[in-house]
Chains A and B, each alone.
Chain A
Amino acid sequence: MAEQKRVGVYICHCGGNISDYVDVVALRDELAKDPDVLVSKHLQFACSDASQKEMEKDIRDQHLDAMIVCSCSPKLHTHTFRNVAARSGLNPYKYVQVNIREQCSWAHSDHSAEATLKASGLVRAGKERVLNAEALIPIRVESRQAVAVIGAGVSGMRAATALADMGEEVFLIESAEKAGGQVGSRAKLFPDNSSGAALVERMQGEIRKRPGIKLFTKATIQNVSGSLGNFTVKVSVGGGETLSLNAGAILIATGYDDYKPLTDEFGYGSGPNVMTLPEFNALLESGSGDIRVGGRAVKRIAYIYCVGMRQVKGPNAYCSRACCTAAISSALAAHERAGGLDIFHLYRDIRTYGKQESFYERSSKAGDSYLMYSEKSPPKVEQKGASLGITVKDSLTAKTDIELEVDLLVLVTGMVPRSDSGNIASLFKIPRGSDKFFNEIHPKLRPVETVINGIYLGGSCQGPKTISESVQSSLAAASKIFGVIGKGTIELEPIVARVHEADCSYCGKCAKVCEYSAITEAEHGDRRVAIVNSSACVGCGICAPVCPSDAIDLARYTNAEIESMIDAFAAASGIVPSASGEGDASGKESIQMKEFPARWNTMLAAIGDEAMSIPAIAGATGFDAQDVTFEVMTMVKYRVLVPKGIDDDDEYYSYQRKW
């Protein structure tokens, strides 16, 4: 028998998220019996500061050589606990997180006993895994002090200037003939009524001012290779020469497309008097005085909102966020340009969120009529001679059918992912969401990062945004990028593929499947073997199963680890969980205050040894039911009282003394 293993196991209640369903005490006890486990504890919140301190103390005092935390998804807290390990001198990779929340308590909340059994299997598997885990050392990579920004719309341009100001070299890559993107054609931007053209011009000026920014227009990206710290982006500029740009990180700011209505969607295409909002904006910008369509001055305009958006059945289930305000501000601009207009807005919900509400208010005060339709009965549009007839069931007038005649219909179309977003996604290997916009890792934890290390998102390629929001997100990305590559060296996860040269005879299968071009052929003594570029390897593991001689494996996912996990999971559980998963498992004794507030004494006297509901206590003491609720809950909090259960009529809990 090898030397004594010293594993520490921490089971988290997640404040009830886990402990309400999984019997954490039973789990703790089962692990405590395991000869490899030295410390087995359950904690209210494993991630809390105090718990972390406790773990650090255990690691140091008990000389733990491995640690498991059984809590939530490793996506959330792997770093947290690896840091705990690192701070107390344990190799961070001798730590394994077991997900008993998403995989047990949340997934099986109706089957508490089974959830506990499953958790027990997972924890045992985790323990085996950590015993087989190697101590790894992070990979350190030198980073290029340069960033490739893909797309020179406002997001891309703004991020480029910020990065240049922080001291990075920037390659700003734009497929169109000049930088500017879509904003140039917008008038009256929220919130300050400035014009899009002016904004674009200003940004272009800022870019010219900074020699660190190299702008490539009419550029197409041929190929992207490399990894964080050292990407190579091959770009053909103007269809001619191909440049190879070397960058430490990449910011994708490729923007969006306007939704194009289908033929005859709300009469689109049936005449010049039906147009989309961007088309109408262009028309507004193109002249002054009366707005003319087909030679006729327009007096009455209708807007239909949510065209192509918020579809329950159609492809675009999402809301395009910016279009309500865009439509309303175009209406205000139309009023400004041509007096005496009657404007009708046919909407589903007006989403002028935040301060944008003032646009809505201004437009209604200007006399615009708002009518509301539901997706189930959309407005009908038909050409009527020179004008258009629209009928709509107005939800604001008890669903009365209303008929209106207008000279012009504007379809308020939203933002859709760029038509080439599929290409961009596969070039950079970044995922898209169900809405086909590029996906961040987590909207709150890591909102501008993609699953590919070193590739970031900015602006509306990620989802519909207003201009200010786009700029904000690309600036946020710029600060994240600079935070990662600004120091010149980067620490990377050592979870990469490794070749056991002895077993390898280079068949090339691994190199062929590697999507990151991380595997190449090399000499090894007299043989040819595969070698892995660890900074390019993302640890996807696709190479391991294709190797005919098991000569390649992935750190943290070695055969030994995986097989031991399967065996351990399959083994019988030693616990007989209680069916209820009773919540009070914290083991904390009731708090013995030496003195209770007077009101508590009266209430406790009334309760006696029975269990009583709040209204009953109120009746017995003459106190207000509200005060009784407050005090009872406080007593429950301080474990003077415990809830006994809910009354027969399923309306009131009853409470009894703790002792």
Chain B
Amino acid sequence: MSTEKPDATPMDGQYDVVVVGGGIAGQEAALSLAAMDRKVLLIERGLSVGGKMIQLSKVFPTLDCAACITTPKMSETSRHPNIKVMLSSTISNIARKGSFSATVTTAPRFVKRADCTGCQECEAVCPEVRIDGYNEKLVGRKVAYIPFTLANPRIATIDRGGTSAPCIAACPGGVKAYGYVSLARNGQFDEAMELHLEDNPLPGSLGRACYAPCEGQCSRSLAEGPVDMRRIKRHFSEYYYAKHQAPLDKKKKDPSGKKVAIIGSGPAGLTAAYFLALKGHDVTIFEAQREAGGMLRMTLPQYRLPNAIVDRDILNVTSLGVKIETGQGITDPATLKEGGYNAVLVAVGTHESTRLGIKGSTLGGIVNCLDFLRESKIGSKVSLKGKKVVVVGGGNTAMDASRTALRLEAASVTIIYRRSRDEMPAWPLEVREAEEEGVKLEFLRNPVSFAGDAGSVKSMRLVKMALGLPDAGGRRASTAVAGSEYEEPVDFVIEAIGLKPTTTVLAKALPLNKDGTIQVDPVTLQTASPWLFAAGDAASGSSTIIAAAGQGKRAAFYLDRFLSGEVVGAAEFGDKLPTSDSAAILRDKAFPAPVIPDKFREGAERCKDFKEVERTFTDDEARRAAGRCLDCSNCRECHQCVNICPANAIDFSMKEERREIRAEAIVIATGFELFNPAEKPQYLFGHPNVITSIQMDRLIAPTRPFNGLVRPGDGKTPGNIAYVLCAGSRDSSLSNFTACGLRPSDSPACSQICCMYSIKQAQLLMGSLPMADITIYYIDIRAFGKGYEEFYQEARGMGVNFVKGKVARISASSGNPQDIVLRVEDIEKGILKEVSHDLVVLSTGIRPVNEIVNAFATEKPLLDEYSFIKVTDPMFNPGQTSVEGVFVAGTAAAAMDIPDSILSAGAAAAGAAAYIAQRKRGF
């Protein structure tokens, strides 16, 4: 659960130079500066250093393998003692105060860099396939993946896409609903259970009695109705418990030597104990009642939650070595502290009832619901045979009490509620079930007094109520209607009007709020005494099982930090991301799937006994119910990767980190973008067999995604390939698109590299497909660098076909729509041609990337007329931008090939080094 610790290097936060961009120019600049003994921080927004060069097959004109040239540099960059590399990071707020200050934000990759060995086990097991960006969308990759074989560092990442599914986000207990649903969908019920046990030890109870806030937020609830997550959970917990009578061994941390006492064995206490025990602490739970389980045990009736299930859930906790001492009411936690416990958690719940306190309410036959439920469950079941029973209150306990009364053979059971049905706090499903069983509901009534005979209640006086305006909390007040009082005969009354924290006995020992809850820090759940924490309903007020369990988990997290001697509040609890957008999910991926119908025993039959009212799913039903899931987030959070990782390197709780840094100089090496051919509709980009040159580079690279060279449209081995040069370069017609909101190309500059990389690819293709015809359509062949013209002539000699003429229109062949027809004028012959090719490569040009200027808070570097970073003194200081101390290297300044980028990086490094030297000399 911890976040990755920043490397404790001596240069933390203080650098000579910050290089932004880890492509070839950035690496080269960083290495040059590091060689000069400058401390360099290299910031790269991607998952690896390497830039675009690492995607290339080979490089012109030497035909060296690009990887062979880049990997040593990447390796050296990552390892150089003077360079610190920060990946997945962006820089912002760059301001000059003498030197530069800036903020570096690092996105979480959910894999601990120091621990990951790059074994790819997580990638193997991950069931989700996404489009692979490194391979330019030609193949898929997993959600858990290593960015590419040659990545540096070669470690995995979990692509959570920045969101959690709504069900996961909704769960106050931090249970991964989408995760277990996706596993259940695949029949992996054991895995689903294991996933649940990662976040909560009480799946059996929750599967029956949870109010399932996840279902309330389920995207499908906006369509046919939510995925039945609770019942799926009930199914896999039953499936698992049937298979495993005793819990499987869990990986515990080594004993910490710390002792923790927990007061209360309800959901909060049990959950906290579970997580603290996993952390290696020695945990003892003190329970005042004679049996453990809190509300689960005492109040939830058997027909909803059988004792055996609670026992099995508790076994998950006790099997970790947690001791439960029942019948041990603690009144002062300090005694425990003094008795040798390092910390104490109070999780006593809300076991006191609010009483009506009206005339006659001390008469016999009037009980509070908690006593009633507890006695009926673990005590003596008193028969109510033939009695007319009234239950006062509209909450879930009222439902439980009334249905229990029915089962105790009451002649009739009536619920009296002072507001109307809409205001009832009870869970609608439970209300429905109660009514099905024969419970009568009377609304807008309130008891005024009871009258009795021989100390037993015989009648009650009621007053009719009317609803007023909503109060601040949105609930409508109810007021008595004058003169509407009337008498009703009654034999037994159950008061179910509210629960109160069981804190009266603790009042002397702990600071309490007015409502009796314990005063805690809402985030850490720590009280004013650092060793004392409080969780669950006793701290939050009456809530739900899952909310209480969530509190227990939270308390365990911070309590563990306290025990480990860490600053308690310095870490953020939880691994949730912002919620994904249900409306968008429904729009994009909805498929029809009807709800699986409820399965209850008949109301008339089930009210006769305490056996469970709801039937469980079959395997098939569970899978079908899970199959209705709409896959709302990029990552399922199924944690199969977490479980398989042999290095325990995957950590979903990683958070975005921000660090403040200082530096003397900045080198911008943010590189370029390739022209998006969709901007030019004539190029038919989108047809699978019209690809970009970088895609072709991937297709022919030694690390290529495809087995042989096949075209993406239908897997055919192309026999006839065309290159369309100047796609997006030297083209002022593209500025026509600025009006449509697309990026402007501003001015028709030449991209400088396309001719040569096309010739390179043509040469490589001639090698790998000796029978293929390669045609390059060009305007001018710009082979101007050292050895380039020779390379060009060599390609001509090899038989690459060069046609002077810019391709104007690309269309799918009317014969075979997989084939591509180009329309072009062959300038040297002066004739118009329509030529069919198997595969067409668009030699896309370079577009500027300049967002970095927005990271400057004070003076921003200027852009040139082409929107590249402006070099203000090209003849004298070719790396100098308009801001003193800020330099630019490589294609951030202009289109250029790799040798020129490397030279430009060297020049920027020289500029930065001279600048720093001069500053240090006090220029």
Contact = CB atoms under 8 A, between A and B. Distances in A.
> Do A and B touch, yes or no (CB under 8 Å, in the complex)?
yes
Interface of A: 14-17, 44-45, 47-50, 52-53, 72, 76-77, 79-80, 83, 154, 158, 162, 165-167, 189, 191-192, 194, 199, 202-203, 310, 312, 317-319, 321, 349-358, 361, 395-399, 433-435, 437, 442-445, 447-448, 462-463, 467-469, 471-473, 475-480, 482-484, 486-487, 591-597, 613-615, 618, 625-626, 628-634, 636-638, 643, 646, 650-653
Contacts of A591: 123-124
Contacts of B68: 14, 47, 72, 76-77
Nearest to A589: B124
A631 B131 CA distance: 10
Contacts of B904: 472, 476
Nearest to A588: B120
Interface string B746-758: 0111111000000
26 contacts: A47-B71, A48-B152, A50-B117, A72-B65, A165-B917, A192-B875, A312-B793, A319-B783, A319-B789, A349-B780, A350-B780, A353-B895, A354-B895, A355-B864, A395-B828, A444-B59, A471-B907, A475-B907, A476-B907, A483-B35, A629-B712, A634-B129, A637-B141, A646-B708, A652-B710, A653-B707
A593 B124 contact: yes
B876 A199 contact: yes
B829 interface: yes
Interface in B104-159: 117-118, 123-129, 132, 138-142, 149-154
Interface in B710-750: 710-717, 719, 730, 747-750
Given A49-B78, A473-B903, A643-B707, A354 B896 contact: yes
A351 B784 contact: yes
B618 to A, nearest CB: 20
B67 interface: yes
Interface stretch (B167-175, B220-228, B262-270, B908-916): B908-916
Nearest to B35: A483
Contacts of B907: 471-473, 475-476, 479
A48 B50 CA distance: 12
B750 A356 contact: yes
A592 B829 CA distance: 58
Interface stretch (B234-242, B488-496, B558-566, B698-706): B698-706
Contacts of A361: 748
Contacts of A318: 786-790
A75 B821 CA distance: 45
A634 B143 CA distance: 13
A229 B188 CA distance: 68
Contacts of A594: 125, 127, 186, 188, 191, 640
Contacts of A613: 715
A643 B708 contact: yes
A158 B782 contact: no
Given A476-B904, A479-B906, A653-B708, 9 more contacts: A15-B702, A44-B149, A192-B874, A354-B894, A398-B828, A398-B829, A479-B35, A626-B712, A653-B717
Contacts of B783: 319, 349, 351
Contacts of A634: 129, 132, 139-141
What range describes how many residues of B lie at the interface?
35 or more
Given A49-B78, A444-B69, A634-B139, A479 B898 contact: no
Nearest to A445: B69
A610 to B, nearest CB: 16
A554 B409 CA distance: 105
Contact of B899 (A443, A471, A651): A443
- Shortest beta-carbon contacts, A-B, top 7: A476-B906, A398-B830, A483-B35, A614-B715, A634-B140, A165-B914, A15-B702
A349 B786 CA distance: 17
A77 B64 CA distance: 13
B193 to A, nearest CB: 15
A112 to B, nearest CB: 15
Interface in B627-673: 640
A357 B748 contact: yes
Interface of B: 32-33, 35-37, 59, 62, 64-65, 67-69, 71-76, 78-79, 117-118, 123-129, 132, 138-142, 149-154, 186, 188, 191, 640, 688, 701-708, 710-717, 719, 730, 747-752, 780-790, 793, 804, 818, 827-831, 864, 866, 874-876, 878-879, 894-896, 898-900, 902-907, 909-911, 913-914, 917-918
A637 B139 contact: yes
A53 B829 CA distance: 59
Given A162-B914, A468-B874, A646-B717, A50 B154 contact: yes
A310 B705 CA distance: 38
A626 B786 contact: no
Contacts of A50: 117-118, 154
A351 B754 CA distance: 13
Contacts, number: 322
Contacts of A203: 876
A633 B702 contact: no
A226 B793 CA distance: 41
Contact of B902 (A49, A476, A596): A476
A53 B154 CA distance: 10
A595 B35 CA distance: 50
A631 B780 contact: no
Given A353-B784, A475-B906, A630-B139, A48 B917 contact: no
Contact of B152 (A49, A167, A189, A356): A49
Q: By CB atoms of chain B within 10 A, which of A192, A396, A444 has the most?
A: A444
Q: Taking chain B's interface residues, is the majority helix, strand, or loop, or is none over half, making it mixed? A: loop
A48 B117 CA distance: 13
A47 B72 contact: yes
Given A76-B68, A354-B896, A476-B902, A629 B702 contact: no
Contacts of A471: 875-876, 878, 907
Contacts of B781: 349
A448 B139 CA distance: 39
A636 B910 contact: no
A370 B59 CA distance: 33
A158 B875 CA distance: 9
Contact of B903 (A158, A356, A448, A652): A448
Q: By CB atoms of chain B within 10 A, which of A49, A350, A625, A637 has the most?
A: A49
Contacts of A630: 138-140, 712
Contacts of A158: 876
A22 to B, nearest CB: 14
A167 B917 contact: yes
Nearest to B142: A638
A480 B905 CA distance: 11
Contact of A352 (B750, B790, B905): B750
Nearest to A584: B707
B841 to A, nearest CB: 17
Nearest to B918: A165
Q: By CB atoms of chain B within 10 A, which of A158, A191, A319, A442 has the most?
A: A319
B802 to A, nearest CB: 10
Contacts of A637: 139-141, 705
B62 A443 contact: yes
Contacts of B707: 633, 636, 643, 653
B702 A16 contact: yes
Contacts of A638: 124, 142
A167 B919 CA distance: 12
Q: By CB atoms of chain A within 10 A, which of B127, B717, B787, B874 has the most?
A: B874
B715 A52 contact: no
Nearest to A192: B874
A166 B688 CA distance: 53
A317 B151 CA distance: 39
B714 A615 contact: yes
A358 B875 contact: no
Contact of B688 (A191, A396, A629): A629
Contacts of A653: 707-708, 710, 715, 717
A462 B703 contact: no
B273 to A, nearest CB: 32
